[in-house]
Amino acid sequence: MSQSRQYAYYPGCSMRATAHAYDRTARRVSEMLDLSLQEIEDWNCCGATEYMSISALQAYSLVARNLSLAATQNATDLVSPCSACYLNLRKTNDNMKKYPDLNDQVNQALAAGGISYTPGALRVRHLLDVIVEDVGFDAVAALVKQPLKGMKVAPYYGCLIVRPSVDGYDTEYPTHLDKLMQTLGAGVVDFPLKTHCCGGHMTQISEETAFELIRRILHNAADYGADAIVTLCPMCQLNLDAYQPQVNAMFGTRFNIPILFFTQLMGLAFGLTFDEAEIGSEIIPALAALGKIGQESPEQVAPKRRDKKALPMPIP
């Protein structure tokens, strides 16, 4: 990569709080991948997942302000690492384009602030998509100094990044995070719940509901022998990490699965120290899981041979 690619960067609120680890590692890793992220000047909240359903016009206008500001920076793509922010930004961008009336109303609202936005002027993208598409697995592999061999992760996409469908990816069973983790050398478990809901803000409304959803994900990950769950959404990370003790209490389970952001693992693989990779900012400590890095996992010692009697599997 001769000169670094320019992106407008929208961190979102969580990045300032619970997910600061995500924010810092995202910036750090992007730097290493020669992606230059220009944070939007004076960005505001994206309205999270609820606002849209409470007051659409206000919500759209709120988001559109960020788009308008981003459009003034010299980048064609707007990147957000937070799935909720990404969804809101993209939804606004798409719907303003799709519905001229909405576009008019929103721009009227923006006009009050002396700004405007032409829908489609920006391409809204999630950080993962940028790394997979614009950088590519080969370029990532080239940077791997310390492969994550021996550690098995469950790739957890969450429910937002696949809605609305992202062109090019299988929205019902995406695999690009799987591939990325494999590129880093990590073992990846085929994680059926990869796009299931983490409960979102349900934790504030009905713990029973939210914790059951969290339990399923943790249970399935444990079932598959994952040492850690890797995620790309602050909300997911928070729910699975912070509520793990309460879930254990509620269901009498003893889950102890660290939840890490994919950028943290990329950082480690690229040779960052634990501190630089913000390891330790999680609630369920990741050290044990990370300790496995470098050790050979049993499968690799004795790879399972297919039984002679067994019928052939379909080509994947």
Partner 1 sequence: MDEKIGVYVCHCGHNIAGTVDVEGLSKWASTLPDVAVARDYRFMCSSLGQELVEKDIKELGLTRVVVAACSPHMHEPTFRRACERAGLNRYLFEMANIREHASWVHQHSIESATDKAKSLVSGAVRRVKELKPLEPFMVDINPTTLVVGGGIAGINAALEIANAGHAVYLLEREPSIGGHMAQFDKTFPTLDCAACILTPKMFDVGNHPNITLMTYSEVEQVDGYVGNFKVRVRQKARKINTDLCTGCGDCWEKCPAKVVDQVYEAGLGYRTAIYRPFPQAVPKYPVIDMESCIYYQKGTCKACEKFCPTGAIDFEQEDKVLELNVGNIVLATGYELFDPRRISPYGYGRLANVFTSLEFERMLNASGPTGGKVILRDGETQPKSVAIVHCVGSRDKNHNVYCSATCCMAALKFGHLVKERTGAEVYSFYIDIRTSAKNYEEFYHRLLDEGMNFVRGRVAEITDAARQPGEEGKLVVQVEDTLLGKQRRIPVDMVILMGAMEPRRDAVDTAHRFGIGCSEAGFFTEKHPKLDPVATMTDGVFIAGACQGPKDIPDSVGQGAAAAARVLTLIGQGRVEIEPVRANIDEARCSGCRICNNLCPYGAIDFIEEPGVSRVNPALCKGCGTCVAACPSQIITGQHFTFESIMAQIEGVLFDVRAGNGQSHTVEQLPLEPA
Under rule CB under 8 A, residue 216 binds partner 1? yes
Under rule CB under 8 A, residue 173 binds partner 1? yes
Applying CB under 8 A, which of residues 54, 112, 301, 315 lies at the interface with partner 1? Answer: 315
Under rule CB under 8 A, residue 179 binds partner 1? no
148 phi/psi in degrees, rounded to 5: -90, 30
Q: How far apart are the first and last CA of the chain?
A: 33
Q: How far apart, in Å, are the Cα atoms of 49 and each of 159, 169, 191, 207?
A: 12, 22, 25, 18
Cβ distance 7 to 34 under 8 Å?
Answer: no
Question: Which range binds partner 1 by CB under 8 A, 53-61, 83-91, 212-220, 247-255?
Answer: 212-220
Helices (H), the chain: 20-32, 51-54, 56-72, 83-98, 100-112, 127-129, 137-143, 176-183, 202-205, 207-223, 234-242, 244-251, 262-269, 287-291, 298-301
Size of site (CB under 8 A) for partner 1? 20
Element (H, E) at 8: strand 5-9
Q: How far apart, in Å, are the Cα atoms of 170 and each of 186, 203, 260, 264?
A: 22, 28, 23, 24
Applying CB under 8 A, which of residues 104, 133, 170, 296 lies at the interface with partner 1? Answer: 170
In this complex, which beta carbon is closest to partner 1, that of residue 99 or of residue 173? 173
Rounded to 5°, angle at Cα 285 from 266 and 17 = 70
**How near is the Cβ of 157 to partner 1 at its closest, in Å?**
13
Under rule CB under 8 A, residue 167 binds partner 1? no
Question: Which range binds partner 1 by CB under 8 A, 26-34, 219-227, 231-239, 247-255?
Answer: 219-227
Under rule CB under 8 A, residue 219 binds partner 1? yes
In this complex, which beta carbon is closest to partner 1, that of residue 88 or of residue 195? 195
Residue corresponding to tokens 């339990």: 215
Span 223-252, contacts to partner 1 by CB under 8 A: 223
In this complex, which beta carbon is closest to partner 1, that of residue 85 or of residue 193? 193
Applying CB under 8 A, which of residues 192, 225, 285, 291 lies at the interface with partner 1? Answer: 192
In what order do the strands lie in the sheet containing 152-156? 187-188, 152-156, 228-231, 259-261
Applying CB under 8 A, which of residues 220, 231, 239, 244 lies at the interface with partner 1? Answer: 220
Span 251-310, contacts to partner 1 by CB under 8 A: 307-310
* CA pair distance 260, 155, nearest whole angstrom: 10
Applying CB under 8 A, which of residues 42, 101, 138, 172 lies at the interface with partner 1? Answer: 172
Applying CB under 8 A, which of residues 31, 104, 133, 190 lies at the interface with partner 1? Answer: 190
Under rule CB under 8 A, residue 99 binds partner 1? no
Angle between helices 100-112 and 83-98 (to 10 degrees): 110
SS3 167: coil
**How near is the Cβ of 174 to partner 1 at its closest, in Å?**
9
Site residues, partner 1 (CB under 8 A): 170, 172-173, 190, 192-193, 216, 219-220, 223, 307-316
